Amino acid sequence: MIDFINFYLFPALAIGSVYALGAVGISMIFGILRFAHFAHGDLMTVGTYGVLAAAAIFPVSPLLLVPFGMALAIVSALAVDKVFYQPLRKLPTIYTVISSFGVALIFRSLVQLFWGSQNQVFNSGGVRPPLVLFDTFRVSVLHVQAVVATSVIALLLHFFLSRTKTGRSMRAVSDDPELAQVAGLDTEKVVRWTWIIGAALAAVAGMFAGMDTSAHPNLGWNLLMPMFAAAILGGIGKPMGAMAGGYIIGLAEELSSYNWIGDSALISPSYKTAVAFVIMIVLLIVKPQGLFKGRLL
Amino acid sequence: MELTGLFFYLVSILIAGGIYALLCLALNIQWGMGGLFNAGIAGFFAIGAYTSAILTTGGSAKHLGGFGLPVIAGLVGAAVLAGLTGWAVAKICVRLKSDYLAMASIGIAEILRLVIVNESWLTNGSLGLAGIPRPFGDYVSGRSADLVFLAYVWAIVLVVYLVAMRLYDSPWGRSLRAIRDNEESAAAVGKNIERYRVQTFVIGCAFMGVAGGLSAHYFRFLSPSATDPLLVTFLVWVMLMAGGSGNNRGAIVGALGIWTLWSVTEIFTNRLPPEWITRSSYIRMLLVGLLLQFVLQKFRSGILPEKSPPLRFRE
């Protein structure tokens, strides 16, 4: 049981935080701009490499350098929206989906062009011993940091969406774009803020994912499927639902590889990604609007 | 001997181009006619490739096989299995917004990649399947075998093209375009939208399976890297968009055109200094991504735009 908590539950919460932060962006973009953003994983990769580039210059903990990654991701997202997505906005959204598919490739090839395609390890000041609680629970410092950071971000996001004017207009546009426009809300401003928040959170998620293992150009693309599953699970257009969805997917992936019956893993760990996919498929069959009454577009 | 070299280089481009033409025709049925977004072409291609390879190879202790069936049976098997997978995906997703179909198809492709790498009893994992026969492999050998294979591929392209043209002109195809352009009005005149879409998706996936099978027979060897989503899914989308979605001839023109561009740029980039060769593949990827954006924004109807089939009235 202790093994279970140390080696499955804590890592599950950490990977769940990564999914949660990524899924918020996907869910908000899907809710407000009405398209599935296939370049979101690669936007994460861009953010990760932004942190990595800063870490090569400043010899401090990568956690302090996350603003560099956020800035790079935000600038990339806004530029891509301006140049590639905006001209397609009047067409059926499926064209934007195709475009985002191409943007994913553009992001990845740029990362490979600038930084090469090998694995890069974050220099976080040597191996840190895990925290030991009550002499039994061992949890890596990074995992604690990921969960804490995600909780703080969730709180801030909640206040932003419910208390500020911009946040409220974002929810209005997400609920009913025509009505929001008629009411005189600045849709372009809402779109801009969607990208800023989505990209910033993607950079944080990417940094944690990269620090947990290593950074490589396919880092974000490999996380895309579970993030989509988390966004659908939480209900499209429900950022807090997406957060919950991220943790549920993370837990499901890790728990499915625990040896519940006998000595071997329930499902081979190499099929972890498949777990997220199966959850997504089941959800699309039974409850496509997600657990928290999201919209069905 | 320069000339024969050039000739066989052209043959190799035409063979691969023919396989891409098949994929484009298949995608044109799904996207051009039906408006369905398939982001997992590589997955259906892989199913076809592995099915046909396993059905036709001789026995091996390393993976499932030993059926030794003729190539044509392998290709039929490829079409059936890819079609069935497509049916399952479509059945779940066609009633939802097209974005969901994109997510599910890409998910299927990723999972199939995991299965292919991990289930070595079936596919021999990353070591791959060897000794896959070519059609009429017993009668021809050496370079003339390439010519025979070229004819074989293009004969299949012709058959698929004729089928696609027939579909395009048939009442079925007309209903499909009506659904694509205005779902509500098509439903109002009593078209069963869901059934049409499932059928479209299955037909397209079956042809993608055949294309996968042909590529396995062409290279005689099949490993997971042969079904790289970049080279399969992505390039095919660019080809169809550039060639003209909705137009079957456009699909073939796009496939040949983009494939020639892709292959010819490889000749130039291979002459670069070694430290640039690895980078050049990223630059090519970047250019393909940018080309897609350009086509989407400025050149949406492609080289050969879609034309509605003529109206014919019976006297």
Is residue A123 assigned to a domain?
Answer: no
Q: CB–CB of A38 and B102 under 8 A? A: yes
In this predicted structure, what is the pLDDT of residue B252?
Answer: 93
B81: pLDDT strictly greater than 90: yes
* Sign of the CA dihedral with A111 first, then A113, A117, and A121 last: negative
Flag whether A92 is in a domain.
Answer: yes
pLDDT at site B83: 94
The model's pTM: 0.88
pLDDT digits (tens, 9 = 90+) for B279-294: 787 888 888 889 889 9
Q: How confident is the model at residue B314 (pLDDT cuts 50, 70, 90)?
A: low
> Which single residue is written with the structure tokens 């430290």?
B275
Residue A297 reports pLDDT greater than 80: no
Under the banding of pLDDT at 50, 70 and 90, the label for residue B76 is very high
Reported as a pLDDT band with limits 50, 70 and 90, residue A39 is very high
Q: Is residue A294 part of a domain?
A: no
> pLDDT per residue over A99-145, tens digit each?
998 899 999 999 988 887 777 777 665 556 666 667 666 667 778 78
Q: Is residue B278 in some structural domain?
A: no
Closest CA relative to residue A297, chosen from A96, A76, A108, A126: A96
Q: Which of A254, A202, A162 is nearest to A26 (CA)?
A: A202
Higher pLDDT, A265 or A160: A160
Query: Is B59 among the domain residues?
Result: yes
Is B113 in contact with B224 (CB distance < 8 Å)?
Answer: yes
| B277 inside 8 A of chain A by CB | no
| CATH for A30 | 1.10.3470.10
What's the CA gap between A223 and A41, in Å, rounded? 6
Domain contains A133:
no
| Model confidence pLDDT, tens digit, residues B157-207 | 999 999 999 988 888 888 888 888 888 888 888 888 889 999 999 999 999
Number of domains in chain A: 1
- pLDDT tens-digit readout, A193-226: 999 999 999 999 999 888 888 888 888 888 898 9
DSSP E strands in B66-187: the ranges are none
Instruction: Count the domains in chain B.
Output: 1
Does a structural domain hold residue B237? Answer: no
Pairwise CB contact (< 8 Å): A99 & B296: yes
What lies within 8 Å, CB to CB, of A255 at 6+ separation is: A8, A12
Q: Do B107 and A297 touch (CB under 8 A)?
A: no
Cα A251 to Cα A27, A190, A255, distances in angstroms: 19, 33, 6
Average pLDDT over chain A reads 83
Query: Chain-wide mean pLDDT for chain B?
Result: 85
Nearest Cα neighbor of A24 from A294, A296, A297 is A294
Greater confidence, B62 or B16?
A: B16
What does the block give as tokens for B123?
A: 């596919």
Most confident option among A15-19, A216-220, B142-146: A15-19
B281 occurs within a structural domain: no
Domain, as residue range, for A247: 2-116+142-286
- Residue A60 belongs to a domain: yes
Question: Tell me, what's the pLDDT at A252?
Answer: 87
Is A233 a domain residue? yes
Cα distance between residue A162 and residue A40, in whole Å: 25
CB-based contact B111 A93, cutoff 8 Å = no
Q: Which of A37, A85, A284 to mutate to test the interface with B (most CBs of B within 10 A)?
A: A284
Which residue from A minimizes the CA distance to B287? A106
Residue B1 has pLDDT above 60, yes or no: no
With beta carbons under 8 A apart, name residues in chain A contacting B297: 84, 87-88
Task: Write the residue in B104, B107, B293 that is nearest to A102 by C-beta.
Answer: B293
Confirm whether A136 is domain-assigned: no
Closest CA of chain A from B305, distance in Å: 17
**How many residues are present in chain B?**
315
Q: Which residues of A touch B (CB under 8 A)?
A: 30, 35-36, 38, 83-84, 87-88, 93-95, 97-99, 101-103, 105-106, 108-110, 112-113, 117, 224-225, 228, 232, 268, 270-271, 273-274, 277, 280-281, 284-285, 288, 296-297
Contact B92 A109 (CB under 8 A): no
Q: Do A97 and B98 count as a contact with CB atoms less than 8 A apart? A: yes
Q: Does any domain span residue B95?
A: yes
